[in-house]
């Protein structure tokens, strides 16, 4: 049986960044990555793909060119983890032994949790930039959109890049204006969330945009069903008093109605959503997941990123059960902490490095405009640039469209970021 000093599950943003950073510090370490896919994606640009301003093919690279040369690539799915025996079982049945394990599998999309979503996605102008199959369909649907209700929504589960459902809304609204479609379009944001954004001063900036651009918002609206053929989104209102008034003139114009069981129906001519998300099933069913977490994320200390019960297991990125916003920007700060702490662990020293919850959300507010929200575990603004990024700016758009992708491929994934 093959044994590795460090075994990484997942060759996405987190797995590759950790591998590259680790080998820069310890070039002779015996490291392997388990990753079934031969392609790697820069997912943050899928928002721009959906808005027709980025080529999908530019978000895709060969995994073989990204996995550091001295790392052994195990091209298979991990199917089972036994942290008591330090073993990972692959889908072909083979077992791999590890001294330290890094769990970096990202999330699993559970389309089937919302009835109608799995059947409808990719048809009837129902789309999602969250999936590589549909980001281009978003753009096709926007181009063929002839007016009516453009609805932007999201599921009740935590999602990666929580700002992405809004980013495409602001881009679409701008696109409608530029192309003479805005007059006969209602732009609607319906969310189970309670606020437009949880961190000040970005919340105020976004509320202003929503008001100035006449975007209709519905908070406390939990998406429970999609009726693809009828083009209807069905919601449960999670807080009394937040049910829309169907006698209100604006709601009548939007065609909103309430069924006898209290469910709110919002008709759409275009619908963008995000899939419900959780840890992959094999993680959820493993001893590594948090006992009280319905989504099964990996139980790690939120500062050291070391597992709370299995000290030779670390986790970062979207699958880690840490209360930060799940983004690539968070991984950029988590990876050096995981690497430093693994090295300390292997040397039997005490773990000293800490992650403080940094995450960032580049909120594109139109073609050529973006604000950059940076914050930490306390939801306090944590700016890294010496400029005010809380208002939409052109230079932040340049950052999003050109600088960050360059930085990702050339610095972060090479362990230089």
Positions marked active-site: 161, 361
- Using omega within 30 degrees of 0 as the cis cutoff, is the peptide bond preceding 295 cis? no
Shortest Å, Cβ 297 to ligand FAD: 11
Q: 190, 221 in Cβ contact below 8 A?
A: yes
Q: For residues 43 and 146, what is the distance between their CA atoms, to the nearest angstrom?
A: 28
Q: Rank residues 35 and 299 by Cβ distance to ligand FAD and give the closer one.
A: 35
Please identify, using beta-carbon distances, which residue of 317 and 415 lies nearer to ligand FAD: 317
- As measured in angstroms, the least distance from the Cβ of 161 to ligand FAD is 3
Strands 277-278 and 108-109: antiparallel
Nearest approach, Cβ of residue 91 and ligand FAD (Å): 8
The least distance separating ligand FAD from the CB of residue 167, rounded to whole angstroms, comes to: 7
Nearer to ligand FAD, 49 or 233 (CB): 49
Nearest by Cα to 267 from 216, 323, 333, 209: 216
Residue 36's CB: how many other CB atoms inside 10 A? 14
Closest-by-Cβ residue to ligand FAD is 12
The per-type count for the chain, helices as H runs and strands as E runs, is 11, 22
Give me the least distance between CB of 326 and ligand FAD, in Å please: 5
Looking at the Cβ atoms of 251 and 324, the one nearer to ligand FAD is 324
Smallest gap, in angstroms, from Cβ of residue 213 to ligand FAD? 21
Beta carbon of residue 96, minimum distance to ligand FAD (angstroms, whole number): 11
DSSP 8-state symbol, 192: S
Task: Indicate the SS3 state at residue 361.
Answer: strand
- The C-alpha atoms of residue 48 and residue 231 are separated, in whole angstroms, by 25
The residue (of 34 and 188) whose beta carbon lies closer to ligand FAD is 34
Encoded tokens for 240: 């009394």
Vertex 338 angle, CA 333 and 341, to 5°:
130
SS3 270: strand
417, 407 contact by CB (below 8 A): yes
Toward ligand FAD, which CB reaches closer, 148 or 163? 163
Cα angle 372-305-20, degrees, rounded to a multiple of 5: 75
Whole-angstrom distance, CA of residue 361 vs CA of residue 330 = 10
Interacting residues with ligand FAD (CB under 6 A):
9-15, 34-37, 43-44, 46-47, 77-78, 104-106, 129-130, 160-161, 164, 280, 282, 317-319, 326-329, 331, 362
Which residue(s) pair with 245 in the sheet?
none
Q: Report d(CA 377, CA 375) in Å as an integer.
A: 7
């Amino acid at each position: 049986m093959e044994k590795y000093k460090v075994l990484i599950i997942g060759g996405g943003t987190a797995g590759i960044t950790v591998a590259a950073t680790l080998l820069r510090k310890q070039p002779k370490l015996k490291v392997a990555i388990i990753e079934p896919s031969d392609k790697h994606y820069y997912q943050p640009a899928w928002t721009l793909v959906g808005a027709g301003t980025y080529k999908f093919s530019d978000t895709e690279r060969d995994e073989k060119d990204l996995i550091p040369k001295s790392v052994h690539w195990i091209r298979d799915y991990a199917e089972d983890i036994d942290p008591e025996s330090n073993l990972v079982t692959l889908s072909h049945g083979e077992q791999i032994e590890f001294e330290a394990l890094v769990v970096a599998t990202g999330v699993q999309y559970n389309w089937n949790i919302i009835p109608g979503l799995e059947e409808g996605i990719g048809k009837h102008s129902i789309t999602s930039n969250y999936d590589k199959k549909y980001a281009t369909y978003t753009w096709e649907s926007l181009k063929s959109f002839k007016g009516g209700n453009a609805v932007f929504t999201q599921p009740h589960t935590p999602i990666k890049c929580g700002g992405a459902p809004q980013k495409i809304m602001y881009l679409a609204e701008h696109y409608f204006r530029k192309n003479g479609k805005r007059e006969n379009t209602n732009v609607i944001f319906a969310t189970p969330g309670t606020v437009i954004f949880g961190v000040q001063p970005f919340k105020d900036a976004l509320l202003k945009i929503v008001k100035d651009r006449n975007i209709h918002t519905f908070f406390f609206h939990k998406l429970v069903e999609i009726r693809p053929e009828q083009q209807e989104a069905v919601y449960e209102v999670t807080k009394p008093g937040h049910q829309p008034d169907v006698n209100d003139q604006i709601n009548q114009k939007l065609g909103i109605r309430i069924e006898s069981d209290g469910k709110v129906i919002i008709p759409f001519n275009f619908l963008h959503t995000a899939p419900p998300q959780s840890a992959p099933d094999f993680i959820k069913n493993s001893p590594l997941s948090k006992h009280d977490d319905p989504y099964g994320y990996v139980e790690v200390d939120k500062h050291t990123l070391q597992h709370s019960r299995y000290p030779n297991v670390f986790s970062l990125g979207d699958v880690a059960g840490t209360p930060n916003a799940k983004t690539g920007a968070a991984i950029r700060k988590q990876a050096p902490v995981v690497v430093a702490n693994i090295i300390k662990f292997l040397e039997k020293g005490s773990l000293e490095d800490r992650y403080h919850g940094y995450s960032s959300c580049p909120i594109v507010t139109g073609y050529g405009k973006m604000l950059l929200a940076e914050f930490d575990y306390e939801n306090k603004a944590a700016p890294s640039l010496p400029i005010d990024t809380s208002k939409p700016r052109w230079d932040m758009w340049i950052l999003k469209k050109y600088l960050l992708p360059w930085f990702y491929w050339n610095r972060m994934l090479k362990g230089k970021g």
